[in-house]
Amino acid sequence: MVERNSVSSPVSRRIVVKVGTRLLTHSTGKLNLGYMEKLTRVLADLRNQGHEVILVSSGSIGAGRGRLNITRNPISIPEKQAIAAVGQGLLVQIYEKLFAEYGLIVGQILLTRTDLVSRRRYINACNTVLTLLKLGVVPIINENDSVSVEELKFGDNDRLSALVAGLSDAHLLVILTDIEGLYNKNPRKYQDAELIPYVEKIDDSIKAGAEKSHDDLATGGMVTKLQAAEVASNSGVGMYIANGYDPGVVTRLVKGEHIGTYFQPQEHFLSRRKRWIAYGQVPQGSVTIDKGACNAICFEGKSLLPVGVIGVEGSFVEGDLITVKDPAGNEMARGLTNFSSEELNWIQKRSSPDIANIMERPVAEEVIHRDNLVIY
């Protein structure tokens, strides 16, 4: 059997495919039914080959705009939510009809960021997806735009697809887009832009290239797709970015063709629980630590102790997710805190024996225990 971290992965059993609004809709904003039909046929054929398929599909607002005959861009959040409420039902109805032609049943899952912040709801979402696959159902997942507000949105379905790939222990994530893959700079602006076919590790040079692709069409492209690639890679999932105008590219990728850009999964990837800590939650604050604490948690496998904390930012309570910054202010880790921000302001820079006296009650020795800490 080919290893999960192999670039050619013809035996990938569980595949997540993400398709965006630009591929699913015409320039009029209405759904491209011809494209949806082709995509459905490709995914159904993958099922016939023995693969499990999860579809992360945008398009609810596009479908709603078409159904309500709204040509202008929605302005207010309530208007977007109302249009999405109409479109979500229409979108899954079309998918249900198309997949039914190939004898397949679909199940819709609408997620918000809060569904993954709660550990219990995260596990419930995971169990729902896995049970649907066990029953032979094709899960169709989208952000619940009818109730999501900006501060609780995933940011883009690219990131959502990577989170879904992680929680479902997928072997491969394919992000279909309107560009060939990741370039070293924006190919729409620079004729000498070069496609990057393979990324072993997402470093600063890779990120800099994505930022250069900043324009109306590409921003949803590369910046969010790199964020998705980081999530996927650290979850042990290989990821492709490929031009999806022909949905048949998914079949070619699964068979092992090298198309677009492939992101290598990390050999030592995060456990499912640490994926939830790293990516499922929204940080509520941060602590800055000294150089000694940096070395202890990065190279010695230690927990973060109060004596190493030299600064506290934000307002948080025990059990919240917080980020950990080095003395230069760079985020280097995140984890679940055993203390509130108020308590940490009292005990920072203090050694462990002093803390119980300061707090006047039994407390944990660690600010963040190693088991609840994710190092970048």
Per-residue pLDDT tens listing for the chain (376 residues):
233 344 444 445 899 999 988 899 887 778 899 999 999 999 999 999 999 999 999 888 878 887 888 877 656 778 888 888 888 889 999 999 999 999 999 999 998 888 888 888 999 999 999 999 999 999 999 988 766 655 445 557 899 999 999 999 999 999 999 889 998 887 878 888 889 999 998 887 787 766 544 433 333 457 888 989 999 999 999 999 999 999 999 999 999 899 999 999 988 899 989 999 999 888 999 999 999 999 999 999 999 999 999 999 999 999 999 999 999 999 999 999 999 999 999 999 988 777 877 776 777 889 999 999 999 8
CA dist 169 → 52, 176, 217, 374 (Å)? 11, 20, 31, 19
Residues of the chain with CATH 3.40.1160.10: 14-274
Q: How far is CA 373 from the centre of its chain?
A: 19
Kindly give the interhelix angle for 77-100 and 60-68, rounded to the nearest 10 degrees.
100
Residues of the chain with CATH 2.30.130.10: 283-375
Reduced to 3 states, what is the DSSP secondary structure of residue 61? Answer: helix
Q: Which two tokens stand for residue 175?
A: 């992000």
How many whole angstroms separate alpha carbon 147 and alpha carbon 230? 27
Reduced to 3 states, what is the DSSP secondary structure of residue 114? Answer: helix
Which class in CATH covers the domain with range 14-274? alpha beta
CB pairs under 8 A, 24+ apart, for 130-137? Answer: 130/168, 132/107, 133/14, 133/52, 133/54, 133/168, 135/105, 136/104, 136/105, 137/104, 137/105, 137/106, 137/107
How many whole angstroms separate alpha carbon 275 and alpha carbon 269? 9
CATH 2.30.180.10, applies to 283-375: no
Reduced to 3 states, what is the DSSP secondary structure of residue 238? Answer: strand
Q: Which residues lie closer than 8 Å to 168 by C-beta, 6 or more apart?
A: 14, 16, 54, 126, 129, 130, 133
pTM: 0.86
